[in-house]
Amino acid sequence: MAHPPPITALAPQGAPLAFLREDPGQPRSLHPEYRSTVLRSPSQAPIRIPHTITELTGPTNWQALMGASLADLTTQHAAAPIGQRILVSGFVQDEDRRPVPNTVIEIWQANAAGRYIHVRDQWDAPLDPNFTGAGRVITDADGAYQFVSIRPGAYPWGNHLNAWRPAHIHLSLLGPAFATRLVTQMYFPDDPLIEIDPIANACALPYRQRMVARFDIGLTRPNWALGYRFDIVLRGRDATPFEDRAHA
């Protein structure tokens, strides 16, 4: 039998002893206005556990897992996709404003007409053979990332009569540890559908607005693409990780 690792291996070198917990901006699992949550949200409260080595570690070799980066979603096929070319750029950092370097962001979205390249999406909008809508980028040493895409369209869904999702880009991050996993959606400024979208509004105001990107003329490239800023904030380090604090 293998030797058990020493207790000093509890946290990898330089890793925090615990991460901060959910802040008030996070949605609750049950949000009945978003109908699919009604049968898919646990009815019992989750059991709070301390952060152990399991939660404090996570995969770091993202390239061995997911492959090389695909940072331009407009050059994946024979011709350019139809739609407004956009450049999305920002920083991934934690709640203490520490940059999160070398972390992968996976991206997926609908095309300019609001249609996904997926057999389950069959609404009456055209597919674009030149647009898949999938990519991934890796943050640099400063936590910065950037990708090129086209602005996705809004699309109808079956949640209620005349329900339309606001234009959005799905973003998935692993972060430095199991505890810092995040999947979110980036919304666009001045989209009137955000106000009436049950998914965006599962996050109470003002926190919902954390998911709304800002148009940036400085980032915008002349004669080429509109620029949007979107920073992503993962959990910070808990300076006082007394695991039984909440149970005392």
> Of 51, 136, 151, 168, which one is the catalytic site residue?
168
Distance CA(164)–CA(187), nearest Å, equals 13
Q: Which is nearer to another protein, 22 or 124 (CB)?
A: 22
Task: Give me the 23-62 binding string for another protein, x by CB under 8 A, dash otherwise.
Answer: x-xxxxx-x--xxxxxxxxxxxxxxxxxxxxxx-xxxxx-
Q: Is 71 in the site for another protein (CB under 8 A)?
A: no
Active site (annotated) includes residue 3:
no
Burial of 88 (0-12, 13-18, 19+ CB in 10 A): buried
Q: What Rg, from alpha-carbon coordinates, does the chain have?
A: 20
Stretch that binds another protein, among 137-145, 146-154, 178-186, 218-226 (CB under 8 A): 178-186
Q: Is 181 in the site for another protein (CB under 8 A)?
A: yes
Q: Which residues ranging from 206 to 245 are in contact with another protein (CB under 8 A)? A: 206-214, 229-235, 243
Tokens, residue 183: 């999947």
Measured over all CA atoms, what is the biggest interatomic distance in the chain, rounded to whole angstroms? 64
- Look at strands 168-173 and 104-109 and give their pairing: antiparallel
Distance CA(34)–CA(54), nearest Å, equals 32
Distance CA(116)–CA(98), nearest Å, equals 35
Tokens, residue 207: 């926190």
> Of 35, 170, 210, 229, which one is the catalytic site residue?
170
Task: Give me the 88-127 binding string for another protein, x by CB under 8 A, dash otherwise.
Answer: --x----x----------xxx-x-----xxxxxx------
Of residues 69, 170, 191, 226, which one binds another protein by CB under 8 A? Answer: 170
Q: Which residues ranging from 131 to 150 are in contact with another protein (CB under 8 A)? A: 132-135
Active site (annotated) includes residue 160:
no
Active site (annotated) includes residue 145:
no
